[in-house]
Structure 1
Amino acid sequence: MGSIGIKSSGSEVVTIDVHAAKGLIQTGHVYLDVRTVEEFQKGHVDAEKIINIPYMFNTPEGRVKNPEFLKEVLSACKKEDRIIVGCQSGVRSVYATSDLLTEGFKDVRNMGGGYLDWVKNQFPLKIPLNLVKDEVPLKAPLDLVIGEVTVKEPLDLLNNELP
């Protein structure tokens, strides 16, 4: 997939689909989830190197940009790190990717479609144990991890309105 047209000081945001993103995440790219902490805690991409730094916060006045976003990313990542940026549907991540490129990050890509496309493609998720309730039948095999379950076939969750 090509770039989407947002420019940031000479660098254009490159958007890749979830299939390409999954492959890159599996080969060591950092997955930067820019959703809110609340969204992240409901479930997220199953990645070895995953960081949650919200690009925006929910406030009574609506969503506002996280003023510490770049500072927080710089404290967690190096500008040379290979990073895939994702959000819920692929919108916030475009702007976050643009900001990172402007800041001088070298290898940053936006994951088009976001977490919603990841789930629709039945890619592995991590979901908190407290969201996996007895009344929700899960057909997918689960691997237990501390405080979370890894769901190998998330379509069963999507059909049951989780996460």
Structure 2
Amino acid sequence: MGSLDKRSGSQVVSLDVVETKHLIQSGYVYIDVRTVEEYKKGHVEAEKILNIPYMFNTPEGRVKNPEFLKEVSSFCKENDPLILGCQSGVRSLHATADLLKSGFKNVTNMGGGYLAWTEKGFPINL
């Protein structure tokens, strides 16, 4: 017998930055899950953008933001179309999985992150 995924419907979808750019332009909310410091150095240009860190830098290293789900829920509804991005695509992958597990329905990960976005020469804000 095959094993069933009890979290069915929570499969993370990662799209490349070209596909992501089209979704952002079509009205998706872009959530930059990098730290505030990273965000201030430059971020994806998007009409609807939020900076909600998934992790914080501490003297002991990076720790997960315990308020992440609550913060996203305070700005976004479970059915809102969301795209999550970070520096390289790792943190946003985990953050996307967390949101899907908590009941969000339409969340996509931007594969490659901000690094891939800037490599393509796509617009940024400083």
Structure 1 length-normalised TM? 0.73
- Residues 10-42 of structure 1, C-alpha deviation per residue, up to 9 Å, x if partnerless? 211000000000000000000000000000001
Cα distance in 2, alignment partners of residues 124 and 55 from structure 1: 23
Mark the runs of 5 or more structure 1 residues left unpaired by the alignment. 1-6, 128-163
Tell me which residue corresponds to 1:157: none
State the distance in 1 between where 2:30 and 2:6 align.
21
| Counterpart Cα distance in 2 of 1:9 and 1:85 | 20
User: 2:38 — aligned with what?
Assistant: 39
Does structure 2 retain, via aligned residues, the 8 Å contact 1:56–1:66?
yes
1:56 match: 55
Greater percentage in strand: 1
CA RMSD of aligned residues (A): 1.1
Deviation sequence 1:94-150 (CA, Å, 0-9, x none): 0000000001101000000000000000000001xxxxxxxxxxxxxxxxxxxxxxx
Alignment partner, residue 80 of structure 2: 81
* TM-aligned CA deviation for residue 9 of structure 1: 1.6
Q: How many residues align?
A: 121
How far, CA to CA, are the matches of 1:77 and 1:37 in structure 2?
Answer: 19
Q: CA deviation at 1:8?
A: 8.1
CA distance in 2, matches of 1:24, 1:92: 20
Q: Distance in 2 between matches of 1:112 and 1:80?
A: 21
Cα 1:87–1:8, aligned 2, differ >3 Å: closer, same or farther?
farther
Provide Cα deviations, 1:43-82, integer angstroms capped at 9, x if missing partner.
0000000000000000000000000000000001010100
1:119 paired residue number = 118
Alignment partners' CA distance in 1, 2:121 and 2:55: 27
Alignment partner of 1:13: what SS?
Answer: coil
Q: Distance in 2 between matches of 1:69 and 1:84?
A: 15
Segments of 5+ residues of structure 2 without an aligned counterpart are none
Distance 1:111 1:89 in 2: 9
Q: Which one has a bigger Cα radius of gyration?
A: 1
Percent same amino acid among aligned pairs? Answer: 67
Where relative contact order (Cα < 8 A, 6+ residues apart) is larger, the structure is 2
- 1:4-43 equivalences in 2 (<5 Å): 9-10=7-8, 11-43=10-42
Alignment of 1:101-140 (within 5 A): 101-127=100-126
What letter is aligned with 1:68? Answer: E
Divergent runs of 4+, >3 A: none
* Residue identity opposite 1:111 in structure 2: M
TM-score by length of 2: 0.94
